[in-house]
Structure 1
Amino acid sequence: MIRLALVAVFAVLLSMIPGVSHARVPGALGTAGNLMREEQPRADGIRHVDTKSIIAGLKALNANTYVYPMAGDDVHWTDLRDEFLPAAAAAGIDVWVLVYSPSQAGCCVSRPFKHDYVAWSREIATLAKSHPNLVGWTVDDYAYDLMTFTPAYVGQMRSAAKAISPALKFVPTVYYGQFTDAFIAGQIPLVDGVVFPFRDEPYRDVSWPWSLSYQVQQLAKRLPGTEVYLMPYAYPLSHAAQKPTVSYVEAVTKKAVEHIRSGELAGVLQYKLPFVSRDQAWTRPSADNLARTGDGRLSFVVQKQTATKAGMSCGATRNTVLTSGAAKRVVSFWHRDARGPEHPAGYHIKQLLLNGKVVWERDVAADAAGTWVKATVDLTAKLSGTTSATLQWRLYERKGVSDYFIDVSVDDIALIGLAMNDPGVENAAVWTPTLARQGGAVYCSAQVYHENYGADLGARIAKLYAAG
């Protein structure tokens, strides 16, 4: 960590030297996965890795690092060796290899060496010796398979690689909750860094970015001298209530770049950011748009299998200006959730607060499931003699639950005698700074749908990567 901090300081000093401008802070800036094959087979009958399209997409993203996944048949390995690494080197792109762990055998087995990780260590190191831009490799879901990756076995892996290519980094993928004291003591001395996928643990959420800095700073304290690479989810996380939005991934990446500059992170590597236009994830289906009108809505969530306590909440608060001379002060909005009268009442409560006091509320079980319902609240008397007001939409836990999933939507706010920006919730940047949660297990977000997800997100990430 001291070394990273000194590098950051050196970059700042370098930028102050006459003739040197915009010195870039060193760090891995890239993405993992979304490996594309060519659309047509070659003369050998094989659809090879589409090296040309991938490199072009990475350059458009301003990425300096790509994590190349070993899935499918042996072609991924031979194309990496024969075509991809030379092309990436010519484009100034470093490459990591991603190998799948034994627990992922149901979906993904890396070939040709499968679950022989000593062989992977040896062969990747051999490849790195002749291709210096092959700088590291990772095992996905590493800490789920510690019965395989014992310290003794990882020691064999390390010895096999370092004997051939001492500079090659082994950087396994480990989730925040898996950094136990025992893991740190037994595993960290054997690795060259860690990839840390961010998912707002323990809530398995990819819409709330504010716990990121805390988790990064905790890892920096607990792993001194260890390079930590953040992995934001640009691709849907299984069992999460929502897919990551453009504004969410942008916010996490922006904060990650700040932590690279401070020396607390060594890089940021998106998880499956679509960066080639023919990627299936490049666009989002219209079914993903859950707004009543337009593209945006407020969302209030309690996740599956998540315990809450009475008094927990998450709210979106906005300051409003009262229109001079208005005879009435009225707020209306539409709300919806997937529960109904057949579900237990008295737990999740939808509320509107005026200046911190509840002026409207509705149980999630009160209305028909999946139906937009309009609420109208007359605030004229309560706002008599005032010039401004604070409104808050929130989900409140009247009683705690152990497993009672809910996703409440609010959209199409209309104001009479009051004014505020973006009442239709079309701009996440307007709403996101106003969000606050009490207790953690209830979270909220401005969910704005982007049909052209890959293009819109890629443009924002490219801008952040270009700034370094």
Structure 2
Amino acid sequence: MIHNFCRYGLLPVLLLSLCFPLLFPFSSWSAPAAAYADRKAPLPILGDYAGELREPHPRQDGIRHVDTVRTIRKLKELGVNSYLYLVWHAPTDWDDLRREFLPAAQKAGIDVWVYLVPPSEARSKSSEPFGTDYIAWFRAIGRLSQSYGNLKGVVMDDFNHNYSFFSPEYVAKMRSAGRKMNPELKFYPQIYYTGIKPDLIKPYRSLIDGVIMTYRDGKYRNTQRTRELDEQIEQAAGILRKEQLPLVLMVHASKLSATPSNPSVRYIQTSMRIGLDHMRKGNLQGLITYVLQKEWFPERKDRSAHSGFGYGSLFVPPGNHPSPGGWGEWQQPIVPDGSGKYTLDFYHLSVYPWRLRNGQYVKQVLIDGQVVWERDVHQDLTQRWKRAHIHLTPHLKGKKEAVLSLRLYRKQKGPTSWFYTGFDQLQPTGFQLANPGFEKPEGWTYRSNHPAVIGETLIFDPQRRLRVYLTTMMMYTLYRFHHQVNSYGGEAMKKEAGQLFTAIVEGRNQQALHRLNRLLERLNDHTSLDQDQRQQLQKMGKKLDHLLSVNP
């Protein structure tokens, strides 16, 4: 832990803040980049959504308002050129936007999009002051954009979950109200992959200007797997390309509801790398982080292991569930020591909502595929670790080797509901286990007969927020640097920049450092660049060098 704190501690970021005061202007984006290397191609959206900082103390109205100064400073440090401002957390958000945030963002060169919640999220709390009167919202936003050219448009959350409300006729009225004030005002609905289908998009083609797709693994709603992201981007981009609509990807940087924990740094790194690669290919016209945290402290709610930092999680997301007989498990081979006395002590956990019923799912321990212990997921209090003790002598006596499995098993039909289970602190007698406390990813193998059961070794990372922040800064700096080299540099520099881009996208940061040093050497010898262009590229290159060094 001392090593990790030194590696990811606050000192590198403080140094970055001191050494890299925002060194380059921001560009706006208004249309898909047809040819990435085109000198005239604008910089795509490098964005962030919500995660705004609040003032430390309430004002006279008793509300902690948006801390505009600190939020803008963080956005500039990250390299963001577009910010999706959520009007929802406090009744003063709209006034904070109009009076403080928009003028500050305009001065900083940051475009702003107003992000609204739909009726499905407005039952207990709606956006103020217009609530679910979205015609009034568009009219007010259009009027405000007359004074601030950096106010680009409106984003509607969970659009495809609210089609019954947002009929094409109603959306046409929304759009008309906004465009009467500003003909350039844009509307991007946020739609999940499962809602990006030709028959769903076509009725709205003339009413929207693009789509924001938030990735959460399609019908198996989670922020743990990225294996479908490439294919989903390609398919969604293909559908929207036929309608000449741009696609922007949103990546979860904070917790998705009804999941075991915040997404890991590795998950965010992988998602952003895939997103950047598709931006370079022209499949995406932007990348946005979802609730990127801008203050760094341990997220203690994620430290839910019984002991240490890690445990073996088995998670069933909302929606699509396995049929009876479906399972997922952690397993590893074991070698009995021949003593003839074998036991296993361990701790197990269940976290579930009220909808889960008795008898639907059970936790099991198996030896060579035979159940030796079973307990209903619903039998124990939620969020409480329970200790179990098993006598394994009858199941291991005389065996030279065996396979131990920790399984989640669907036993009966019932209402669909998310939940997750966990195993931790295994203490064997008469045999040994590798990684018995799930404190590292190694030792256990995950297996499943259905994709709706998701296994992950969940290891609490006290530096997660900081590492995600640094990762985002590095990815956005890379894209800006690559974009600038392709705009100003010669063919040799462009080739080197492409190799640098590929190395980082593939996670080969040490090779990327080598490529970057070669590119900076070429930059010094590049005579066609004027002084400002050279200095701009050098500063971005040095910033990228530092970021690669603290994110090895």
TM-score in terms of structure 2 length? 0.64
Deviation at 1:299, TM superposition (A): 0.5
Separation of aligned partners in 2, 1:264 and 1:290: 39
Letter in 2 for 1:312: G
Deviation at 1:435, TM superposition (A): 4.7
CA contact (8 A) 2:349 2:421 kept: yes
SS in 1 for 2:144: helix
From 234, 238, 242, the equivalent of 2:260 is: 242
The correspondence of residues 113-132 of structure 1 with structure 2, limited to 5 A, is 113-132=130-149
Letter in 1 for 2:260: Q
The reply on whether 1:65 has 2:77 as its aligned counterpart is no
1:406 to 1:43, Cα distance in 2 relative to 1, 3 A: closer
The correspondence of residues 72-221 of structure 1 with structure 2, limited to 5 A, is 75-179=92-196, 181-221=198-238
CA contact (8 A) 1:57 1:276 kept: no
CA contact (8 A) 1:250 1:460 kept: yes
Aligned residues between the structures: 432
Deviation at 1:376, TM superposition (A): 8.8
Separation of aligned partners in 2, 1:186 and 1:393: 49
Letter in 2 for 1:426: E
| Higher share of residues assigned helix | 2
SS in 1 for 2:283: coil
The reply on whether 1:314 has 2:342 as its aligned counterpart is no
Letter in 1 for 2:313: S
Deviation at 1:449, TM superposition (A): 1.9
1:149 to 1:310, Cα distance in 2 relative to 1, 3 A: closer
Range moving further from structure 2, 296-305 or 33-42: 33-42
RMSD, aligned α-carbons:
4.3
Deviation at 1:182, TM superposition (A): 4.2
CA contact (8 A) 1:7 1:26 kept: no
1:76 to 1:412, Cα distance in 2 relative to 1, 3 A: same
Q: Describe the superposition over 1:381-413 as per-residue Cα deviations: whole angstroms up to 9, x where unpaired.
A: 7667xxxx9987553446666547653323346
The reply on whether 1:459 has 2:470 as its aligned counterpart is yes
CA contact (8 A) 2:159 2:191 kept: yes
CA contact (8 A) 2:79 2:473 kept: yes
CA contact (8 A) 1:336 1:371 kept: yes
Separation of aligned partners in 1, 2:378 and 2:140: 61
Q: Describe the superposition over 1:294-327 as per-residue Cα deviations: whole angstroms up to 9, x where unpaired.
A: 111110123467542244333457799x9xxx99
1:153 to 1:214, Cα distance in 2 relative to 1, 3 A: same
The correspondence of residues 278-357 of structure 1 with structure 2, limited to 5 A, is 283-285=298-300, 288-303=302-317, 307-316=321-330, 334-338=346-350, 348=362, 350-351=364-365
| Higher share of residues assigned strand | 1
Deviation at 1:265, TM superposition (A): 2.7
Letter in 1 for 2:374: D
Separation of aligned partners in 2, 1:42 and 1:347: 50
Q: Which has the higher contact order (CA 8 A, sep 6+)?
A: 1
Partner of 1:21: none
Q: Describe the superposition over 1:143-192 as per-residue Cα deviations: whole angstroms up to 9, x where unpaired.
A: 34334422123223333444554443210122333345542221233111
Partner of 1:409: 422
Deviation at 1:57, TM superposition (A): 2.3
Deviation at 1:418, TM superposition (A): 8.0
1:122 to 1:423, Cα distance in 2 relative to 1, 3 A: same
Range moving further from structure 2, 260-269 or 364-373: 364-373
Q: Describe the superposition over 1:51-103 as per-residue Cα deviations: whole angstroms up to 9, x where unpaired.
A: 11111222343333221112366743343233322322343422211122233
From 228, 252, 272, the equivalent of 1:233 is: 252
Letter in 2 for 1:446: T
Letter in 2 for 1:300: L
The reply on whether 1:254 has 2:273 as its aligned counterpart is yes
Separation of aligned partners in 1, 2:32 and 2:55: 39
Separation of aligned partners in 2, 1:237 and 1:103: 17
- Share of identical aligned residues, percent? 29
From 35, 50, 75, the equivalent of 1:7 is: 35
Partner of 1:446: 457
1:412 to 1:75, Cα distance in 2 relative to 1, 3 A: closer
Separation of aligned partners in 1, 2:47 and 2:391: 47
Separation of aligned partners in 2, 1:130 and 1:41: 28
Structure 2 gaps of 5+ residues are 1-30, 352-356, 480-552
Q: Describe the superposition over 1:99-154 as per-residue Cα deviations: whole angstroms up to 9, x where unpaired.
A: 22233333433334443333333332343344333223212233343344221232
CA contact (8 A) 2:338 2:398 kept: no
Structure 1 gaps of 5+ residues are 15-23
CA contact (8 A) 2:349 2:423 kept: no
Deviation at 1:260, TM superposition (A): 2.8
Partner of 2:387: 372
SS in 1 for 2:51: coil
TM-score in terms of structure 1 length? 0.74
Partner of 2:438: 425
Deviation at 1:232, TM superposition (A): 3.1
Separation of aligned partners in 2, 1:124 and 1:352: 60
Partner of 2:482: none
Letter in 1 for 2:160: A
Letter in 2 for 1:256: G
